[in-house]
Amino acid sequence: MARQKLSHIFTKIVFKPLRTNLFHIVLSAFFLTLGSAESYSQEKKNNSTSIPAEKQKDTATVNLADLVTPKDSTKQDTVKPKKTFLESRIKRKAVDYEKMDQKKKLLTLYNQAELYYEDFELKAGIIVMDYEKNEVYAGRIKDSLGNYTQRPVFKQGTNVIEPDSIRFNTKTKKALVWNSRSVQGEMSIKGEITKKENDSVYFIKNARITTSKDIDNPEYYFLARRLKLVPGKKAVVGITNMFIADVPTPIGIPFGFFPMSDKKGTSGLILPSPNDTNRQGFSLQNGGLYLALSDNYDLAILGDYYTNGSYAMRFESSYAKRYGYRGNVNVRFENQIQSERGFPDYTKATNYNIQWSHSQDTKSSPNSRFSASVNMGSSKYYQQSMNQANVGSALNNTLSSSISYSKTYNTMPQVNMSLTATHSQNTQTETINMTLPTFQGSVDRVFLFASEDETKKGFIKNMNIQYNLNAKNEITTNDSLFFKPQMFRDAKIGFQHTIPLSTNFKVFKYFSVTPSATYNEVWTMNTYEKRINPDTKKAEDYSVRGFDSYRTYNFSTGISTTIYGTFNFGEDKKIQAIRHLMKPSISYAYTPSFDKYYDTYDPDGTGTMLNEYSRFNGTVYGPPSKGNSNIFSFNLNNTFEAKVTDKDSTKTEAKKVMLLNSLNFSTTYDVNADSMKLAPLRVSAGTVLFKDKMNINFAATLDPYALDNANKKIDMYNIENGGSLFRLSSANVTVNYSFSSKDGSNQNDRTDPLKNQSLRNGGREDDLFGTARDLGDNRQSQFNDEDIEEAEKKKSFYNAVLPWDIRLAYSLTYNNSARQNEITNNSLMVSGNIDLTPRWKVGVSTGYDFVQKGVTFTQFRFERDLLSWRMDFNWVPIGTYTSWGFFIGIKSSVLSDIKWDKRNQPDRTLR
């Protein structure tokens, strides 16, 4: 009897209803009963017509065990069947064909074949399964051009292997793999022959280990003759050496260990970088230990050692909780020595710096918020540090910190409270001002004569009262006393209670009037008393400990309105209209005299002259005013906006363009002043141009009073002295312009202190003073991977248009307060970058001082993206911070210790 192809039997005989032909029925029963002998012939197409069944089984999933041993419907076997050779169901798929050879027990899948069995998945051009030997073979197939395609992809659990071919035993789980490709964390491994011992151990011959994205043509790799791989944990290698562009290098090891963790961070050692400094001798820098303590935080312990005895320690930790908070902490300490003990130029300095940044997600707690931005330490840290290459931070004269917690209670009325600790440090004078802490509490305004739901309108209905409390523990000290007991003994403590009573109403329909009265009470825990020093015979301040207080009050009122004006030029004009918005306001403030809080003293003990003083001088909130005050204030705010015809002819409405964001005029008039009652008129203006890329700000001071022959201000108006109405005494103009070849591009987030170390150190967020360099981690790049990939898809090299970006900052200051008529500052700073190719970036930061007639800080930057590597060269050719640095190394954090870092830093002068 001829046996048909199994697939034909399955689909057309087993499920085909039998014809009602007696001959066929008897013949079929005869062969089904005596079917002990089998004969074979060539396969042929079945041309018989099939009658569709009412219900037909889905053939997408088949149990092959049922096909090998067909069930006999005429007889029930009472013998217990043997265990089938397939222990699980098979799912398979192929585009061209699926062939099963029952004689050889082979299942063949061809073209885009897929096989799912037990815990593994296999995709390949061709898959052959020998279900008698429990073996699976998979390989590639040739396309129409004769090239091999459809490389096998073998997946078992989380491990994925992409070889040229694979042979796998489904029962023993052992396998032989040819040219396997596997990704373990940041590393890729390609092995010539791989033997899979079990689910957790692989032995590989001639393995290539690299972090390159192209594993078949890597720019570098480590060739390990023998390798033992434990996926997700480690790789142990024998003789291994490094290849660059398939060229062997002398860099090699007899044996080694590579971590292969799938976790985001893995603990390990950080190898130091050797360097030759100018004044500290040879050094080993930035070596230490990295600890991945958990998925939420880590810790890096780094240290430097110099042959002249100098050393440094740093502790760096980052932490984050999704939808909660994020931040990092840096603690740095340096003990620097220059020259040798006994020499006249021998110096020793101890510097430290503490940084802490913390930000909270606003969604995590809507009614409370905690934030921190701390940058404190030695005033000369950035000028003398051997591990900070950041001119912007070194030139910064102020270090500041703030830690705050605020809480809102949604009661009626609402209550707000906050605790803030602040720190401000002048790096030139080394003076430190701190508040530890400042407490602010307030109760929202309460309307005295109107219910909660009632409309507040009119003088009576709008009358409201509030309560504010401000408390401070203020400390003023310097570097030498910082965090010493003396610092806390000189602390000043005070409380200020403020109760404002105000209302608002309209007059003449268009004028808004806001009268108010404020009661103020100050408590202090220390005051001062003038006494004669018996040694010097002079009056000096003596601190008096104990509670004291004073109370003041004042009255004020203001009237304001808004005036709109529009100049129409016609809808057919380019500029259709100009809109002018004016907000004039006049206010008056009266504060009575509180001279009862003032006393007299004899400055020299002779009794010939008495001076007045207040015991509250030098306290947190200062003394109350001695004389009464009657001051009128005038202010006029202007805004100019234009309506222009849009270039897009499809748009029917005109486009609004801001001409001047602000044009402000302000001055005051003191009724009680003895002379020169009118204060100088202050003018300020600002606008943005070129799609908000250029910011222009202007400020000027116009003095109404004249100068005498000695260039001193006199109580005579300038116009009465033969001059103009106002005399220009000072002016300042600043222009900032940032533009690039790609509008709206912003490769780096410069405003985030967690990403911009220069900004976090107190410097500028731009790179006008050069880019900050973290000498402990030079893998940071200016390149954007997405831009590189996009450029390389289009062309290998740029043609006429090269990507670039430029930032300009211009500042001009004019001073004529005493007829100097001089420009005290006139400087232009420029910073730009240009991409010569998709992987070549050149940058420069420089400037020119037109007053001093010299070039300001200048830095040249060259960077090359070498795929898995990064090369960087920085050069400061002139000035105090003359230096250069060269770095080339692997970008991956796993192999970040494979680098060459050479630099020549500027001399650090200790004092």
Per-residue pLDDT tens digits for 815-832:
999 888 999 999 999 998
Residue 429 banded pLDDT, cuts 50, 70, 90: confident
Name the DSSP letter for residue 596.
G
* Residue 118 CB contacts under 8 Å (≥ 6 apart), including other chains: 87, 88, 170
> How large is the average pLDDT for residues 640-646?
88
> Considering only CA atoms, which of 4, 16, 11 is closest in space to residue 45?
4
Choosing from 601, 627, 653, the residue where a domain stops is 627
Choosing from 231, 262, 293, the residue where a domain stops is 262
Is the predicted pLDDT of residue 842 greater than 70, yes or no? yes
> Considering only CA atoms, which of 870, 865, 866 is closest in space to residue 901?
870
**What pLDDT score was predicted for residue 804?**
83
Residues 226 and 150 both lie in one domain? no
Is there a domain that residue 610 lies in? yes
Residue 727 banded pLDDT, cuts 50, 70, 90: very high
Is the predicted pLDDT of residue 791 greater than 60, yes or no? no
Tell me whether residue 386 is exposed, middle or buried, using C-beta atoms within 10 angstroms of its C-beta: 0 to 12, 13 to 18, 19 or more: buried
Q: Do 609 and 602 meet the contact criterion of CB atoms below 8 Å apart?
A: yes
Is the predicted pLDDT of residue 794 greater than 80, yes or no? no
Identify which has the larger pLDDT, 629 or 394. 629
* Residue 672 CB contacts under 8 Å (≥ 6 apart), including other chains: 627, 628, 629, 630
Q: Cα 891 to chain center, whole Å?
A: 19
Instruction: Give the model confidence (pLDDT) of 438-467 as tens digits.
Output: 999 999 999 988 887 777 888 898 999 999
**What pLDDT score was predicted for residue 28?**
45
**What pLDDT score was predicted for residue 830?**
92
**What pLDDT score was predicted for residue 479?**
83
Residues 508 and 475 both lie in one domain? yes
**What pLDDT score was predicted for residue 779?**
54
Residue that is written with structure tokens 């780096």 in the block = 748
First-to-last C-alpha distance (Å) of the chain: 107
Q: Do 582 and 568 meet the contact criterion of CB atoms below 8 Å apart?
A: no
> How large is the average pLDDT for residues 364-370?
89
Is the predicted pLDDT of residue 518 greater than 90, yes or no? yes
- The number of distinct structural domains making up the chain is 4
Residue 313 banded pLDDT, cuts 50, 70, 90: very high
Is there a domain that residue 388 lies in? no
Is the predicted pLDDT of residue 86 greater than 60, yes or no? no
Taking the C-alpha atoms of residue 612 and residue 224, their distance in angstroms, rounded to an integer, is: 88
Q: Indicate the average pLDDT of the chain.
A: 81
Lowest-pLDDT choice from 136-145, 319-328, 783-792, 802-811: 783-792
**What pLDDT score was predicted for residue 789?**
58
Distances (CA, A) of 743 to 84, 746, 806: 68, 9, 12
Residues 414 and 551 both lie in one domain? yes
Residues 468 and 507 both lie in one domain? yes
Is the predicted pLDDT of residue 22 greater than 50, yes or no? no
Q: Do 109 and 101 meet the contact criterion of CB atoms below 8 Å apart?
A: no
**What pLDDT score was predicted for residue 790?**
58
Taking the C-alpha atoms of residue 395 and residue 881, their distance in angstroms, rounded to an integer, is: 11
CA atoms lying within 13 Å on the CB side of residue 623? 19
Taking the C-alpha atoms of residue 72 and residue 29, their distance in angstroms, rounded to an integer, is: 11
CA atoms lying within 13 Å on the CB side of residue 211? 19
Q: Do 116 and 62 meet the contact criterion of CB atoms below 8 Å apart?
A: no
Alpha helix positions (H), 34-141: 64-68
**What pLDDT score was predicted for residue 627?**
83
Identify which has the larger pLDDT, 439 or 258. 439
> How large is the average pLDDT for residues 836-859?
89
Identify which has the larger pLDDT, 73 or 643. 643
Q: Cα 231 to chain center, whole Å?
A: 33
> How large is the average pLDDT for residues 60-68?
38
* Residues paired with residue 222 on neighbouring β-strands, in sequence order: 209, 242
Rounding to the nearest 10 degrees, give the CA dihedral for residues 61, 65, 67, 71.
Answer: -120
Is the predicted pLDDT of residue 15 greater than 50, yes or no? no
> Considering only CA atoms, which of 136, 84, 86 is closest in space to residue 113?
136
**What pLDDT score was predicted for residue 181?**
84
Is the predicted pLDDT of residue 638 greater than 90, yes or no? yes
Is there a domain that residue 772 lies in? yes
> How large is the average pLDDT for residues 846-850?
93
Instruction: Give the model confidence (pLDDT) of 697-710 as tens digits.
Output: 999 999 999 999 88
Residue that is written with structure tokens 């930061």 in the block = 845
Taking the C-alpha atoms of residue 333 and residue 336, their distance in angstroms, rounded to an integer, is: 10
3-class SS at 786? helix
Is the predicted pLDDT of residue 64 greater than 50, yes or no? no
Taking the C-alpha atoms of residue 241 and residue 249, their distance in angstroms, rounded to an integer, is: 7
> How large is the average pLDDT for residues 287-291?
89
> How large is the average pLDDT for residues 773-781?
59
Instruction: Give the model confidence (pLDDT) of 896-906 as tens digits.
Output: 778 888 877 77
Taking the C-alpha atoms of residue 446 and residue 573, their distance in angstroms, rounded to an integer, is: 53
Instruction: Give the model confidence (pLDDT) of 331-359 as tens digits.
Output: 999 998 887 777 887 888 888 889 999 99
Q: Which two tokens stand for residue 317?
A: 């930790």
Is the predicted pLDDT of residue 639 greater than 90, yes or no? yes
Q: Which two tokens stand for residue 804?
A: 């670039």
Residue 295 sits at the vertex; the CA angle it makes with 293 and 297, to the nearest 5 degrees, is 55
Identify which has the larger pLDDT, 558 or 119. 558
3-class SS at 29? helix
**What pLDDT score was predicted for residue 48?**
40
Instruction: Give the model confidence (pLDDT) of 149-194 as tens digits.
Output: 998 998 887 778 888 899 988 888 888 889 888 888 788 888 899 8
> How large is the average pLDDT for residues 663-676?
93
Residue 269 banded pLDDT, cuts 50, 70, 90: confident
Is the predicted pLDDT of residue 78 greater than 60, yes or no? no
Q: Do 905 and 883 meet the contact criterion of CB atoms below 8 Å apart?
A: yes
3-class SS at 13? helix
Distances (CA, A) of 785 to 194, 211, 492, 734, 843: 33, 15, 54, 35, 18
**What pLDDT score was predicted for residue 20?**
45
Choosing from 609, 627, 645, the residue where a domain stops is 627
> How large is the average pLDDT for residues 394-400?
77
> How large is the average pLDDT for residues 490-496?
91
**What pLDDT score was predicted for residue 66?**
41
Lowest-pLDDT choice from 75-89, 147-161, 209-223: 75-89
Residues 449 and 537 both lie in one domain? yes
**What pLDDT score was predicted for residue 16?**
38
E-strand spans in 448-532? 464-478, 492-502, 505-507, 511-532
Residues 891 and 750 both lie in one domain? yes
Taking the C-alpha atoms of residue 259 and residue 364, their distance in angstroms, rounded to an integer, is: 36
Range of the domain at 219: 182-262
What share of the chain in percent tops pLDDT 90? 33
Which amino acid is it at 787? D
Is the predicted pLDDT of residue 19 greater than 70, yes or no? no
Taking the C-alpha atoms of residue 205 and residue 213, their distance in angstroms, rounded to an integer, is: 21
Residue 795 banded pLDDT, cuts 50, 70, 90: low
> How large is the average pLDDT for residues 794-802?
55
**What pLDDT score was predicted for residue 788?**
59
pTM, two decimal places: 0.69
Taking the C-alpha atoms of residue 207 and residue 226, their distance in angstroms, rounded to an integer, is: 7
Residue 84 banded pLDDT, cuts 50, 70, 90: very low
Residues 504 and 550 both lie in one domain? yes
Is there a domain that residue 526 lies in? yes
> Considering only CA atoms, which of 700, 685, 601 is closest in space to residue 639?
685
Residue that is written with structure tokens 């003398």 in the block = 384
Residues 488 and 620 both lie in one domain? yes
Is the predicted pLDDT of residue 145 greater than 70, yes or no? yes
Peptide bond into 500 cis (omega under 30): no
Is the predicted pLDDT of residue 45 greater than 50, yes or no? no
**What pLDDT score was predicted for residue 388?**
64
**What pLDDT score was predicted for residue 260?**
73
**What pLDDT score was predicted for residue 755?**
61
Using left for φ > 0, alpha for ψ between -120 and 50, and beta otherwise, residue 796 falls in: alpha
Taking the C-alpha atoms of residue 824 and residue 730, their distance in angstroms, rounded to an integer, is: 10
Residue 778 banded pLDDT, cuts 50, 70, 90: low
Residues 725 and 762 both lie in one domain? yes
Is the predicted pLDDT of residue 266 greater than 80, yes or no? no
Neighbour tally for 454: CB within 10 Å: 10
What share of the chain in percent tops pLDDT 70? 81
**What pLDDT score was predicted for residue 885?**
85
Identify which has the larger pLDDT, 440 or 198. 440
Residues 772 and 885 both lie in one domain? yes
* Residue 690 CB contacts under 8 Å (≥ 6 apart), including other chains: 737, 739
> How large is the average pLDDT for residues 392-398?
70
Is there a domain that residue 387 lies in? no
**What pLDDT score was predicted for residue 759?**
63
Is there a domain that residue 690 lies in? no
Lowest-pLDDT choice from 214-218, 620-624, 735-739, 757-761: 757-761
- Residue 13 phi, psi (nearest 5): -115, -50
Residues 169 and 186 both lie in one domain? no
Is there a domain that residue 586 lies in? no
- Residue 149 phi, psi (nearest 5): -135, 175
Residues 461 and 609 both lie in one domain? yes
Is there a domain that residue 311 lies in? no
**What pLDDT score was predicted for residue 787?**
58
